[in-house]
Amino acid sequence: MIQSIIIIYLLVILIAGFWKRSETDTESFLFAGRKLTLPAFVATLVTTWYGGILEVGRVSFEHGISTWVIFGVFYYLAGFIFLKWIAPRISALNIRTIPEFIHLKYGKWPGVLAALFVLLLASPAPYIKMAGGMFTFIFHLPEFWAIVMAAGFSIVYAFSGGFQSVVRTDKLQFILMFGGFGMILIMLVRQYGGTDFLLTHTPDYAFDIPGNFSWSYILIWGFIAMMTFIDPGFYQRCYAGNSDRTVRRGILISIGFWIIFDMMSVMTGIYALAILPAGSDNAYLALAETVLSPVFRGIFFVALLSIIMSTIDSYTFISAFTIGKDIPQLFNPTNSERSRVNLVRSGLVITGIIAIIIASRFTHVLDIWYTMGTFAVPVLLIPIIGAMYNQKIKYPLLVMVFPLFVSGVWYAMGMANSLDGWPQYPLSIEPMYPGLLASGALFYILRKNR
């Protein structure tokens, strides 16, 4: 029954993705012709945000309400800042992609470095790993083939339909993600009770902040949330919106939906903490096995898959046009429209292969997020914001490379002195901080007058 429900979901997603073939010009294939309406904008932005849903389940099961702070509060604040100061500049400057913008402002080689880090930020590997885990759980596939299956289903319709296919499937997945978590929460409340049950059946840290986290660990997630400012998915959707009003209202509405969904997903994880035995793997999956009938379990698994796969197709597509459009354009700006679209399609295949390799090597998705944020934020954040506000700098490549070197050395020193598998960084300072400090200092020293 559960496998049948999942297969039906996958077929429906394929039909939605293949429903209409995209035009072959770059603007249509990559940005839906800049015609995203408010509902489409909100649906695709909200669903793309939530690819790491199984990790939210794991962390909320292990750490309680503090999960809402590290995966929620900091990101809402980042979203508001993006809405206020970054989204208007994307529109005013017609910023299509980050590498293209950095190339325009700072030159070819800074653009190349930006493209490499966009590939790091937009890697679908963490989400392919999670979807692969679900396919292993549901279909009892070997891990590698489950990962290949997850990558393949999310690439195939984007190959012909482009960004419009991604948006069409996101609309359906938006409904499924809220419907699935609303269903399981209603059943949990009816079967076990509300807050009184949770307070009496969970450890003290479950409703305490910082709980069993340290404040220093929570604070680093505040800085990792700054990845929002350089998230290529945000840039693509802001550029694709049909008006400034749509983009501004869309981000604000999306933040509201993120708050609602975070409350739903974290509370579901805390119910798992109250109901399941300690040390249970895959909190959401185990909880569904415990409290839901096969039909409702299949519906909930569809909700989880829809969240993950909506992010896989979005990030795969961004990585593909970075490989197929941005990088070739840095070296050969005269490529034809058709040539660029064909290169993006080749980029989809390359992205899928790379993501499968990465997903096979990491144990926890959180490790991938942490590593990406540690290196990408110091390299890209200050140069991008500076360029948006017309701040020119001497030696822009140095301003990007030196923070990478600083964070890299700090990270290597911590890993070389690890204790029980945990890196021991100099002065107990996370490597992102010295990287950001180096970036800010160099930017200030090498800044030119306007």
Classify residue 366: in a domain, yes or no.
Answer: no
* Residue 450: pLDDT over 60: no
Say if CB 292 and CB 187 are below 8 A apart. yes
Verify that 438 and 387 share a domain, yes or no. yes
Q: What is the domain range of residue 188? A: 2-359
Alpha carbon dihedral 389, 407, 60, 360, in 10-degree steps, equals: 110
Q: Is 440 exposed, middle or buried (0-12, 13-18, 19+ CB in 10 A)?
A: middle
The string of DSSP letters for 410-427 reads: HHHHHHHT-BTTB---GG
User: Could you report the per-residue pLDDT of 7-63, keeping only the tens digit for each?
Assistant: 999 999 888 887 766 666 778 888 988 999 999 999 999 998 887 888 899 999 999
Verify that 277 and 230 share a domain, yes or no. yes
How much is the pLDDT for 363? 64
Number of Cβ within 10 Å of residue 405's Cβ equals 13
In whole angstroms, give the CA distance from residue 449 to residue 357.
Answer: 45
Asked which of 309, 330, 359 is the last residue of a domain, the reply is 359
> 92: Cβ–Cβ under 8 A, 6 or more apart, which residues?
none
Say if CB 143 and CB 132 are below 8 A apart. yes
How much is the pLDDT for 364? 63
Number of structural domains (the chain) is 2
Number of Cβ within 10 Å of residue 372's Cβ equals 19
Verify that 349 and 400 share a domain, yes or no. no
Q: Please state the φ and ψ torsions of residue 241, each to the nearest 5 degrees.
A: -60, 150
Q: Which residues pair with 393 in a beta bridge?
A: 447
Place of tokens 């204790």: 419
User: Could you report the per-residue pLDDT of 368-426, keeping only the tens digit for each?
Assistant: 777 777 888 899 999 999 999 888 899 999 999 999 999 999 999 998 888 877 788 88
User: Could you report the per-residue pLDDT of 424-443, keeping only the tens digit for each?
Assistant: 888 888 898 899 999 999 99
Verify that 250 and 289 share a domain, yes or no. yes
Number of Cβ within 10 Å of residue 348's Cβ equals 23
Number of Cβ within 10 Å of residue 295's Cβ equals 11
Verify that 350 and 382 share a domain, yes or no. no
How much is the pLDDT for 340? 74
Tell which wins on pLDDT, 249 or 353. 249
Q: Which pTM was predicted?
A: 0.90
Verify that 403 and 301 share a domain, yes or no. no
Polymer length in residues for the chain: 450
* Residue 115: pLDDT over 60: yes
Amino acid at 431: P
Asked which of 337, 359, 381 is the last residue of a domain, the reply is 359
Number of Cβ within 10 Å of residue 191's Cβ equals 12
